[in-house]
Amino acid sequence: MTGSRKLLIFGGMTLAAFGMLYGLQYALFVEHQALDHMSGSLAQSFTAAARRNLGQSQVSLEQYGETKYDYVRQVDAHSHWIGLAMLMIVLGVIFERMNFSEGIRQLVAFSLLVGSALFPLAVILQTYHHGASVLKALAMVGSGLVIAALAAAAWGFARPRTMT
Amino acid sequence: MPAIPRPFPDTASFAPANSVPGCAPDFAPMSARRLYIFGGIALIAAGLLFGDIFAVFILHQNAARQGEALIAASHAVAAGNAAAVNEAFSHLGNLLEDRGTKVDAHVHMIAAGYLALLLALVQPYIALSRQTKKSMASLFIAGGVLLPVGIFLIHYVGLAGSPFSAIGWASVLADSAGALLIVVLIVQAWGFWKYVRSRQLSEPELPGEDSMPRRALLTGGTILVLLGFLHGAYYAGTLLYEHERMETAILQRLINAATAGNLDAATTEVNNFGALAGARAVNIAAHSHIIEFGLLAMLLSFVQPFVFLSEKWKRRWVKLLLGGSVILPVFVLLELRLGLLAGGIADIGGLMVIVGLVGMLVGILRYSGGLDVTENDVAEADAAEGAR
Disruptive mutation site among B37, B43, B77 for chain A (greatest number of A CBs within 10 Å): B77
- Chain B within 8 Å of A143 (Cβ-Cβ)? yes
Q: Is the pTM of this model over 0.90?
A: no
- A vs B, Cβ pairs < 8 A, gives 160
For residue A10, count CB atoms less than 10 angstroms from its CB and return exposed for 0-12, middle for 13-18, buried for 19 or more: buried
d(CA B79, CA B261): 8
pLDDT at B158: 83
A67 lies within 8 A of chain B by CB = no
Tens digit of pLDDT for each residue in B163-200? 877 778 999 999 999 999 989 999 998 998 899 898 88
pLDDT at A104 over 70: yes
Q: Are B244 and A68 inside 8 Å of each other by CB?
A: yes
Write the DSSP symbol of residue A29: I
CB contact, 8 Å: A77 with chain B? no
**Burial class of residue B265 in the structure, from the number of CB atoms within 10 Å of its CB (0-12 exposed, 13-18 middle, 19+ buried):** middle
Name the 3-class secondary structure at A101. coil
Instruction: Name residue B322's amino acid.
Output: L
**DSSP state for residue B130 in the 8-state scheme:** H
Residue A142 lies in a domain: yes
Report residue B7's pLDDT band, with 50, 70 and 90 as the boundaries: very low
CA-to-CA distance for A158 and B48, rounded, in angstroms?
Answer: 30
d(Cα A43, Cα A35) in Å, to the nearest integer? 12
Asked if A10 lies within 8 A of B186 by C-beta distance, the reply is no
Of the candidates A71, A34, A32, A64, which has an alpha carbon nearest to the alpha carbon of residue A49?
A: A64
Measured between alpha carbons, how far is A16 from B189 in angstroms, rounded to an integer? 10
**DSSP string across A38-100:** HHHHHHHHHHHHHTT-HHHHHHHHHHHHHHHHHHHHHHHHHHHHHHHHHHHHHHHHHGGGS-S
**C-alpha distance from residue A140 to each of A75, A118, A135 (Å):** 18, 9, 8
Contact between B308 and B364 under an 8 Å Cβ cutoff? The reply is yes
- Set of chain B residues whose Cβ sits within 8 Å of the Cβ of A57: 255, 259
- A129 touching B (Cβ < 8 Å): no
Cα separations in angstroms, B286 against A53, B134, B148: 41, 36, 22
What pLDDT, in 10s, does the model give residues B286-328? 998 999 899 999 988 888 888 888 888 999 999 999 999 999 9
- Residue B236 sits at the chain A interface (C-beta within 8 Å): yes
Residue A122 lies in a domain: yes
Per the CB < 8 A criterion, the answer to whether B50 and B59 are in contact is no
- In chain A, what residues touch B88 (CB-CB under 8 Å)? 46
DSSP character at residue B30? T
Is residue B386 scored above 70 in pLDDT?
no
Tell if the CB–CB gap between A39 and B89 is shorter than 8 Å: yes
Give the per-residue pLDDT at B222. Answer: 86
Of chain A, the percentage scoring pLDDT greater than 70 comes to 97
Does A93 sit within 8 Å of B232, measured CB to CB?
no
In chain B, which among 56-95 make CB contacts under 8 A with chain A? Answer: 73-74, 76-77, 79-82, 84-86, 88-90, 92-93
Dump strand ranges (E) for chain B.
none
> Using a CB-CB distance cutoff of 8 angstroms, which residues of chain B are in contact with residue A51?
80, 82
Q: What's the pLDDT tens digit per position in A30-49?
A: 888 898 898 889 999 999 99
Sort out which chain A residues have CB atoms less than 8 A from B218's CB and list them.
94, 97, 157
Decide if A30 contacts A74 (C-beta within 8 A). yes
Under an 8 A CB cutoff, do B252 and A46 touch? no
Whether residue A160 is contained in a domain is answered as: no
Kindly state the average pLDDT of the residues B63-72.
Answer: 91
Residue A13 has its nearest CB partner, among B185, B225, B299, at: B185
- Nearest Cβ partner for B189 among A17, A43, A94: A17
* Structural domain containing residue A97: 3-155
Helix (H) or strand (E) holding B232: helix B212-235
Measure in Å the smallest separation between the Cα of B88 and chain A Cα atoms.
9
CB contact under 8 A, B81 and A50: yes
**CATH label of the domain that carries residue A104:** 1.20.120
Confidence of residue B6 (pLDDT cuts 50, 70, 90): very low
Q: Is residue A163 part of a domain?
A: no
pLDDT: which is higher, B204 or A73:
A73
**CA–CA min distance B235, chain A (Å):** 12
CB contact under 8 A, B229 and A143: yes
Residue B356 CB neighbour total at 10 angstroms: 24
Domain membership flag for residue A123: yes
- Average pLDDT on A144-152 reads 92
pLDDT tens digit sequence for A48-66: 999 999 999 999 999 999 9
**pLDDT(A161) > 70:** no
Percent of chain B at pLDDT above 70? 86
Domain count of chain A? 1
Q: Which residues of B touch A60 (CB under 8 A)?
A: none
- Which chain B residue lies closest to A2 (C-alpha atoms)? B196
A57, A64, A86 ranked by CB distance to B118: nearest? A86
Residue B210, CB-side half-sphere exposure with 13 Å CA sphere:
5
Burial class (CB in 10 A: 0-12, 13-18, 19+), A150: buried
Q: Is residue A164 part of a domain?
A: no
d(CA A33, CA A41): 12
Q: How far is A16 from chain B (nearest CA, A)?
A: 8
Residue B380: CB atoms within 10 A of its CB come to: 17
Mean pLDDT value across residues B240-252: 92
What ipTM, to 2 d.p.?
0.84
Alpha-carbon gap, residue A143 to B230, rounded angstroms: 9
Is B101 a residue whose pLDDT tops 70? yes
